[in-house]
Chain A
Amino acid sequence: MHLGNYLGLLDNSEKQITKAFAQVSRHHKDEPDIEQMCQKLSAWSREHRGKLVPYLQRYSTQQSTEPARLKHELFSAARSGSLGLIRDLHDLWLLTQEVQLSWAVIQQAALALRDEELKATCAFCSARTKRQTDWLLGRIKQAAPQALVVAD
């Protein structure tokens, strides 16, 4: 069974997105809404990781041997300027997709295992991940015309 591996992958993705939101928050603190919302959304992802802990323990014995392959760097460093902001939000949006898909995969496993608790966790976290995605998309749409067409 590979559920443990996938939980590890998800945990890693939530860790990266937690970090990335925090980085973007710090880096773009001149955009007050970005600073505050990214802080909040980072906290959400951190909370998701917390919720994963019991399942990582529950299913850890079943980890297969090659988790490293399932890890990859998704976000390196924040950029500057109005275009940089869009690219950062763009990357964050992609990261939420990675997370969202992982939750969907885990949810399928939870269904097959009849693990009610894990199912509820998946429902909660994937709904919140969607809210992260929605906010990112809205903010990108707002910023894009000005950054791409008008800004020097």
Chain B
Amino acid sequence: MSETRNAIQDIWGPRTPYHGTWPLRENERVTATPDHWVQSACVLCSNGCGLDIGVKDGRIVGVRGRAEDRINHGRLGPKGLHGWEANHSSDRLTKPLIRRNGQLEEVSWEEAMRLIVERSQELIRQHTASAIGFYTSGQLFIEEYYTLGVLGKAGLGTPHMDGNTRLCTATAGAALKISFGTDGQPGSYNDLNTTEAVLLVGHNMASQQTVLWTRILDRLAGPNPPQLVVIDPRRTYTAEKATVHLAPRAGTNLAVLNGLINLLIEADQIDHEFIKAHTVGFAELRQTVEKWTPERVEHLTGVPADKLLAAARILGNSKTLVSTALQGVYQSMQATAAAVQINNIHLIRGLIGTPGNAILQMNGQPTSQNTRECGADGDLPGFRNWDNPDHMEELARLWNVHPDKIPHWAPPTHAMQIWRYCETGSIKLLWIQATNPAVSMPELARIRRILQQKDLLVVVQDAFLTETAKLADVVLPTAIWGEKTGTFTNTDRTVHISYQAINPPGEARADFDIFLDYARRMDFRDKDGQPLIKWSTPEEAFEAWKACSKGRPCDYSGLSYEKLTGGSGIQWPCNEQHPDGAEHLYTDHQFNTHADYCETYGYDLVTGAEKQPEEYKANDPKGKAIILAADYEPPHEEPDAEYPLWFTTGRVVYHFHTRTKTGRARALQEAAPEGFVQLSAEDAARHGIADGDLVTVESRRGKVTEPARIGDIEPGLVFIPFHYGYWDHDEHDKRAANELTLTEWDPISKQPHFKYAAVRIRKA
């Protein structure tokens, strides 16, 4: 066993101050000397650190960071250095399972697939393909998503395809579409190398993307450190480093952001020429924010006026700015409206498309960018517009099917609605891949009830018997990272290849092969009677995806497996114009808003109603960015006499999602073995709670009991990390944060509101 550092204790590693280049720092951790290394990248957050997998005797024995990779320059964090241990966990699923007489029993692949196919065909006959829904993931590869997208949209023709990305990055996508016409991050991680200021909104980067955070730490340790504005209700690791930390009350992000923009406009720290030449909608923004004086913001959000002014001064005086947002924005009230305000800060200051300027509407999961790009969720492949008949024609031509085969009569069904259709019984087959809704969805009692509904056939494709798989009717064992080959894209558009290093255990199969098998058994055909899916290897699937993406913003046509092998990850767009990828989109300040190119015709920011094509075309922004604004609205559930405290959820540094993998990596599990209830000293004293006491937290939807952790949080707010469920814990002793959360969602992005609810607490 050897490791370059103990990343559990030393999360971010030693400082290597940034002086214009990234000093080499190759982090490695192996339990034995590998006989060879296999190129890959980490899949335990959206950062996408390049790494090599060390293999000895057909087993993974460790990882090392890839020094040549543009994302991490060799650095790895605790999850990356330890998470691979899960591959060899003794409780991997190795055989398909079918529920018989209430019990999951081992069966052959033939039996399991036959059951799924027969049920699919029967449902199509009786109810059309709209009785079938898919709930996929942010963990698969491009090749898998694209195959799934094609088989679902052009094979079955079901509108019900979405993923857990709805819980994680839907708002990022929605906000980018609204402001710039299509999805796609305008900047790059490299902008952090030179930027004068960083605005982090609801994004605990230090805990989530630890390696990205080391960039900021190394900038802070070097000359000309950037100033940091952090908006977060908790004093997180990230907030500790802030120049100015604003801690607003739950659900008030938009009021704070409106207040900041108001101050920028009042101080005239805006780029009038840019606004005039490259945007539409500024007047409405000004009108919306003008009443948000610092005093008013303070009154509503609890953020002191002088702190708001200090933050605005940083944002207004910096010549370059990187802004990031994550779940604190996306999973809270007015998610899309708030995320759009972050875009607007850059638009009114003209800070976009140039070095040092980036908006990173972060993704949560490693491959959720691809779920959005490839059409495996509520979006169409290649950021196409479902409401634009020409885009639908393009897809139909590409897949050689009749355009009407592809559902486009309404926006694709979002995840929350898919679950609702399951609940009301009109979706009768729900196929879940690589995600664990029985812990990650809001209001878990309801989700468990739906999963057990009699007339719903639940298929779960996973590597472990998760809380969700335990409730399934069919379980398909899958190969995971390191056991299959594919590509994926991180938050800053960097595409990595991840090669198969070892064989999957037992009969486990790659998701890719499961989809191909289903398509073959269902005998999906194109217009000419040829098989709809014409590829059988991941590389062929990648080539097909390249053709689909060509000419769209996420253009992969210049990439190939060969090009991705050996060096660094490469950013899209990668094509003739940008053979080595592009660090910035919109360098000429021409945005993707042309009516014939855009991904959406826009939304009403308050009701979420989709704008009609004619309306959009009548005022075609033709390349100008769109400034939209909405006023603050109070959350739908607020503390009252019965449930007097705010509740919010979030993450800890050592775990990812529902711990399916990180909980099976020994050191990560030991570092954070159980959840906790974080509360302020004031609230603890009021209830006679001491550090470590068991506390019961109760909302209108359920209750959980966990030990208390006191401090670093505003009075009136209670926090529980969302990682902890029941696969390694008595399921009667409720502890999952989502027992308490609300079933409701943002009207535009449809992302659920995990970040606020009203609760009461007592000592257990």
User: Assuming the A-B contacts A33-B745, A131-B606, are A145 and B636 also in contact, with contact meaning beta carbons closer than 8 angstroms in the complex?
Assistant: no
When distances are taken between beta carbons in the complex, the residues of chain A under 8 Å from B426 are 82, 146-147, 150-152
B304 CB–A CB distance under 8 Å:
no
B747 and A134 form a contact (CB under 8 A):
no
B130 CB–A CB distance under 8 Å:
yes
B130 and A145 form a contact (CB under 8 A):
yes
A108 CB–B CB distance under 8 Å:
no
* In the complex, chain A residues 110-152 whose Cβ is within 8 Å of any chain B Cβ: 131-132, 134-135, 137-138, 141-142, 144-147, 149-152
B607 and A146 form a contact (CB under 8 A):
no
The CA of A99 and the CA of B471, in the complex, are separated in Å by 49
The CA of A24 and the CA of B420, in the complex, are separated in Å by 18
A-B pair count, CB < 8 Å, reads: 68
When distances are taken between beta carbons in the complex, the residues of chain A under 8 Å from B606 are 40, 131
When distances are taken between beta carbons in the complex, the residues of chain B under 8 Å from A40 are 606-607, 633
From A36, which residue of chain B is reached at the shortest CB distance? Answer: B636
A78 CB–B CB distance under 8 Å:
no
Q: B632 to chain A: closest CB distance in Å?
A: 13
B283 CB–A CB distance under 8 Å:
no
User: Assuming the A-B contacts A131-B606, A150-B128, are A31 and B420 also in contact, with contact meaning beta carbons closer than 8 angstroms in the complex?
Assistant: yes
B610 and A138 form a contact (CB under 8 A):
yes
Q: B606 to chain A: closest CB distance in Å?
A: 7
| B interface, CB within 8 angstroms of A | 127-128, 130-131, 159, 409-411, 413, 416-417, 420-421, 424-427, 604, 606-612, 633, 636, 743-745, 747
A37 CB–B CB distance under 8 Å:
yes
When distances are taken between beta carbons in the complex, the residues of chain A under 8 Å from B744 are 32-33, 36
The CA of A145 and the CA of B611, in the complex, are separated in Å by 20
A141 and B410 form a contact (CB under 8 A):
yes
Contact of A131 among B128, B604, B633 (CB under 8 A): B604
The CA of A142 and the CA of B408, in the complex, are separated in Å by 11
From A132, which residue of chain B is reached at the shortest CB distance? Answer: B607
The CA of A81 and the CA of B744, in the complex, are separated in Å by 19
Contact of B607 among A32, A37, A151 (CB under 8 A): A37
The CA of A145 and the CA of B408, in the complex, are separated in Å by 11
| A interface, CB within 8 angstroms of B | 31-33, 36-37, 40-41, 82, 131-132, 134-135, 137-138, 141-142, 144-147, 149-152
When distances are taken between beta carbons in the complex, the residues of chain A under 8 Å from B609 are 131, 134-135, 137-138
Known: A131-B607, A142-B410. 14 other contacts (CB 8 A): A32-B743, A32-B745, A37-B747, A41-B607, A134-B611, A137-B609, A138-B608, A142-B417, A145-B130, A146-B130, A149-B127, A149-B128, A150-B127, A152-B425
Q: B754 to chain A: closest CB distance in Å?
A: 14
The CA of A137 and the CA of B610, in the complex, are separated in Å by 9
When distances are taken between beta carbons in the complex, the residues of chain A under 8 Å from B416 are 32-33
Contact of A142 among B131, B411, B604, B743 (CB under 8 A): B411
From A137, which residue of chain B is reached at the shortest CB distance? Answer: B609
Q: A139 to chain B: closest CB distance in Å?
A: 8
The CA of A142 and the CA of B421, in the complex, are separated in Å by 12
The CA of A144 and the CA of B411, in the complex, are separated in Å by 12
A135 and B424 form a contact (CB under 8 A):
no
18 contacts between A and B (CB under 8 A): A32-B745, A33-B416, A33-B744, A37-B607, A40-B607, A40-B633, A134-B604, A134-B610, A134-B612, A137-B609, A142-B410, A142-B411, A145-B130, A145-B409, A150-B128, A150-B427, A151-B426, A152-B425
A82 and B131 form a contact (CB under 8 A):
no
B608 and A150 form a contact (CB under 8 A):
no
- Max count, chain B CB within 10 A of own CB: residue among A31, A134, A149: A134
The CA of A131 and the CA of B602, in the complex, are separated in Å by 13
B128 and A33 form a contact (CB under 8 A):
no
When distances are taken between beta carbons in the complex, the residues of chain A under 8 Å from B411 are 142
When distances are taken between beta carbons in the complex, the residues of chain A under 8 Å from B421 are 146
Q: B294 to chain A: closest CB distance in Å?
A: 28
B410 and A135 form a contact (CB under 8 A):
no
User: Assuming the A-B contacts A134-B609, A135-B604, A145-B409, are A33 and B425 also in contact, with contact meaning beta carbons closer than 8 angstroms in the complex?
Assistant: no
Q: Which 8 A-B pairs have the closest CB atoms?
A: A134-B609, A135-B607, A135-B609, A151-B426, A32-B744, A150-B130, A150-B426, A142-B410
When distances are taken between beta carbons in the complex, the residues of chain A under 8 Å from B636 are 36
- Max count, chain A CB within 10 A of own CB: residue among B420, B609, B633, B743: B609
A134 and B425 form a contact (CB under 8 A):
no
From B615, which residue of chain A is reached at the shortest CB distance? Answer: A134
- Max count, chain B CB within 10 A of own CB: residue among A32, A135, A145: A32
B409 and A151 form a contact (CB under 8 A):
no
When distances are taken between beta carbons in the complex, the residues of chain A under 8 Å from B424 are 82, 151
A33 and B747 form a contact (CB under 8 A):
yes
The CA of A146 and the CA of B160, in the complex, are separated in Å by 10
The CA of A145 and the CA of B159, in the complex, are separated in Å by 10
The CA of A149 and the CA of B417, in the complex, are separated in Å by 16
The CA of A90 and the CA of B747, in the complex, are separated in Å by 20
The CA of A8 and the CA of B487, in the complex, are separated in Å by 65
Q: A39 to chain B: closest CB distance in Å?
A: 8
When distances are taken between beta carbons in the complex, the residues of chain B under 8 Å from A41 are 607
When distances are taken between beta carbons in the complex, the residues of chain A under 8 Å from B747 are 33, 37
When distances are taken between beta carbons in the complex, the residues of chain B under 8 Å from A150 are 127-128, 130-131, 426-427
The CA of A114 and the CA of B659, in the complex, are separated in Å by 67
A135 and B745 form a contact (CB under 8 A):
no
The CA of A40 and the CA of B747, in the complex, are separated in Å by 12
A134 and B159 form a contact (CB under 8 A):
no
From A32, which residue of chain B is reached at the shortest CB distance? Answer: B744
The CA of A132 and the CA of B426, in the complex, are separated in Å by 27
When distances are taken between beta carbons in the complex, the residues of chain A under 8 Å from B633 are 40
A151 and B425 form a contact (CB under 8 A):
yes
Q: B447 to chain A: closest CB distance in Å?
A: 14
Q: A21 to chain B: closest CB distance in Å?
A: 12
The CA of A78 and the CA of B463, in the complex, are separated in Å by 46
The CA of A134 and the CA of B413, in the complex, are separated in Å by 18
When distances are taken between beta carbons in the complex, the residues of chain A under 8 Å from B608 are 37, 135, 138
When distances are taken between beta carbons in the complex, the residues of chain B under 8 Å from A144 are 410
The CA of A134 and the CA of B744, in the complex, are separated in Å by 21
The CA of A146 and the CA of B85, in the complex, are separated in Å by 44
When distances are taken between beta carbons in the complex, the residues of chain B under 8 Å from A33 are 416, 744-745, 747
Q: B254 to chain A: closest CB distance in Å?
A: 15
When distances are taken between beta carbons in the complex, the residues of chain A under 8 Å from B420 are 31
When distances are taken between beta carbons in the complex, the residues of chain A under 8 Å from B607 are 37, 40-41, 131-132, 134-135
B130 and A149 form a contact (CB under 8 A):
yes
From A144, which residue of chain B is reached at the shortest CB distance? Answer: B410
